[in-house]
Amino acid sequence: MTITIAVANQKGGCAKTTTTVNLAAALAELKYKVLLIDLDPQANASQWLGAATDTPGVFDLFTTKVAVASLLVDTNTEGLSLLAGSRSLASIEKALAGELAVETRLKRRLAALESLAFDYVLIDTAPTLGLMTLNALCAAQQVLIPVTTHVMTLSGVAQLMQTFDDVKDVLNPQLSLLGLLPCRVDQRTRHSKDIIDALIEKFGEQVLVARIRENIRLAEAPSFGKSILQYQPNSSVAEDFRALAREVISHQSR
């Protein structure tokens, strides 16, 4: 069975793309078959994984009837395929105006991938709660919410939880919360710890055990077209993503 996970948080720059790319790579390293779907017009994940800007992908999936499998591209991480995002996604709402049930189009289109037997599909989303993010929440069974521990962002998380509840009520009753992931954790500062404590106080066990530490290598890796597991396989933060992958896997047997 394929587990589909949407990585979402409408706050910009809270490590969604970093989490999606490196968790995908960590799952692939464990020999799972993984697909990353980039629903963000910024297409940062696609660029990180080396896709050319004109690579066909999500826009074509939404606006044409072309076979989904033909839109997948390989990445330089073995076992990790990509369905690329592109700048054209910025105008997708206009392109789909007047069409029916567009919130669930991704979900319906992905059904055709069953025969490819992906173990995990990870969806990177834009920092908005627009149509593409709604599609991610409808296609997913689980939501992973990265939270940067640089700045207090609890109000944004509360807003996202509200959207999560609304989607669950109306469009996708099987949706569950995989968890909140503290990112950019700086163990030298009191501030990081205070934010994690506040998160745990408010959201309890919904906060994952995994922590992604602050590491400048993560900011460098995209320009080399490599996940952190390839770029700095022995770094502490590569270990953080491996630990996250193990926690995500163990979550599935709960």
Ligand X SMILES: Nc1ncnc2c1ncn2[C@@H]1O[C@H](COP(=O)(O)OP(=O)(O)OP(=O)(O)O)[C@@H](O)[C@H]1O
Of the two residues 126 and 207, which places its CB atom closer to Mg ion in the complex?
126
Gap between the Cα atoms of 116 and 74, Å rounded: 13
12 binds, among ligand X, Mg ion, none (CB under 5 to 8 A by kind): ligand X
* Residue 18 sits in the site that holds ligand X (CB under 6 A): yes
Binding residues among 105-134 for ligand X as defined by CB under 6 A: 127
Q: Shortest distance, CB of residue 45 to Mg ion, whole angstroms?
A: 7
| DSSP class per residue in 179-241 | EEEEESB-TT-HHHHHHHHHHHHHHGGGB-S---B--HHHHHGGGGT--HHHHSTTSHHHHHH
Go through 20-35 and write b for each residue having 16 or more CB atoms within 10 A of its CB, e for each that does not. bbbbbbbbbbeebbbb
Of the two residues 47 and 215, which places its CB atom closer to Mg ion in the complex?
47
Residue 57 in tokens: 């992908």
Gap between the Cα atoms of 60 and 188, Å rounded: 46
CA-wise closest residue to 137 among 102, 163, 111: 163
Of the two residues 110 and 218, which places its CB atom closer to ligand X in the complex?
218
* Residue 44 sits in the site that holds ligand X (CB under 6 A): yes
Of the two residues 113 and 231, which places its CB atom closer to ligand X in the complex?
231
Gap between the Cα atoms of 159 and 62, Å rounded: 27
Residue 230 in tokens: 């390839």
Q: Shortest distance, CB of residue 169 to ligand X, whole angstroms?
A: 26
Candidates 3, 4, 16, 79; binder of ligand X (CB under 6 A) is: 16
* Residue 226 sits in the site that holds ligand X (CB under 6 A): no
* Residue 17 sits in the site that holds ligand X (CB under 6 A): yes
Of the two residues 13 and 233, which places its CB atom closer to ligand X in the complex?
13
* Residue 233 sits in the site that holds ligand X (CB under 6 A): no
Which residues contact ligand X (rule: CB under 6 A)?
Answer: 12-18, 40, 42, 44, 127, 183-184, 212, 214-216, 218-219, 237
